[in-house]
Amino acid sequence: MTTGIRVGTRGSALAMTQTTTVAERVADLAGLPYELVRVRTEGDVSRGSLSQIGGTGVFVAALRDALLEERCDIAVHSLKDLPTLPAPGLTVASVPEREDVRDALCARDGLTLATLPDGARVGTGSPRRAAQLRSARPGLEVVDIRGNVDTRLGRVAGLVPGAPGDLDAVVLAAAGLRRLGRDGVITELIDTDVMLPAAGQGALAVECRESEATPHVREALATYDHLPTRLAVTAERAVLLQLEAGCAAPIGALARLQGDELSLEAVVCSLDGRSILRLTRSAPATDAVAAAQLGLELAEELLAAGAAGIAPLNS
């Protein structure tokens, strides 16, 4: 009997493309076949707003259960959706090379942040994006939306034929649009000086059981790991961990590795976008311990500068 790699995935178009890309690469490296195992998550089922569903990791918990119950062998997550606390018995065995980290404006008529008229309605479900949008353009009306990528794009007037667009623009992660082949709708890749992305944005995480017994699978995942990306996201996530921040907190974090130097930037925003605390810190980082330490130190600096008074950190 041949034992292939069972790869757990959510059913959304984005999850399916991400997972298929990873599965093909891992299977190729391991020299084994693979099959996809579809898992429904609470985040896909519920229609409530993300902040209403509450708790971290609504998209992730069901996949982790499937791993622990041995219904699949590896699971692919968007790293920014992965709770900062590890799951007992599981390990993030691979963090592949990151896609574009930026947020993308998808507007009607080619409009950009600079050219959207005052009063324009811009959709996002993310308090981080909402706050930074309000800060960049106080005249915009930010509208709370959710749903998968196509649902969101369909809300923009004239963007998706036949969809009743009631918004002037939406903001989505460039990475997701690229992976879906939908980056043609992007009218502006928002500079990270204007909008700092979420910790882990644009990166994927491949999780497996700590006790995963197949050496070919373990080795394939280790080979697929991209150290610069892993160091960057480790630092970014350490900021959230140290701030005890929830997944809906208005916080951005972005690290970049230049040579051996890891440069980490983080922002904490008030929900109305009027107070923005943004700090940068660098340190030599060649391993995950040093990267995590950098994130921890930047979080302490943010707290010392009053982060807890600016934003609802635990939301």
Contacting residues toward ligand PBG, per CB under 6 A: 78, 80-81, 172-173, 175-176, 201-202
Q: Catalytic site residue 81?
A: yes
Which residue has its beta carbon closest to ligand PBG? 176
Looking at the Cβ atoms of 154 and 176, the one nearer to ligand PBG is 176
3-class SS string, 7-30: EEECCCHHHHHHHHHHHHHHHHHH
- The nearest distance, CB 187 to ligand PBG, in angstroms, is 15
Rg of the chain in Å (alpha carbons): 19
Q: Are 65 and 89 in contact (CB under 8 A)?
A: no
Angstrom CA distances, 86 to 67, 95, 218, stand at: 13, 14, 18
Q: Are 39 and 64 in contact (CB under 8 A)?
A: no
- The nearest distance, CB 282 to ligand PBG, in angstroms, is 24
Angstrom CA distances, 272 to 127, 137, 146, 249, stand at: 9, 11, 19, 13
Q: Are 226 and 234 in contact (CB under 8 A)?
A: no
Looking at the Cβ atoms of 187 and 281, the one nearer to ligand PBG is 187
Looking at the Cβ atoms of 18 and 242, the one nearer to ligand PBG is 18
Nearest residue to 301 via CA among 279, 284, 283, 286: 279
* Cβ-based neighbour number of residue 311 at 10 Å: 26
Q: How many residues does the chain have?
A: 315
Phi, psi dihedral angles at 292 (to 5 degrees): -65, -40
**Residue of 28, 44, 73, 81 marked catalytic:** 81
Looking at the Cβ atoms of 98 and 281, the one nearer to ligand PBG is 98
Looking at the Cβ atoms of 80 and 134, the one nearer to ligand PBG is 80
Catalytic machinery residues: 81
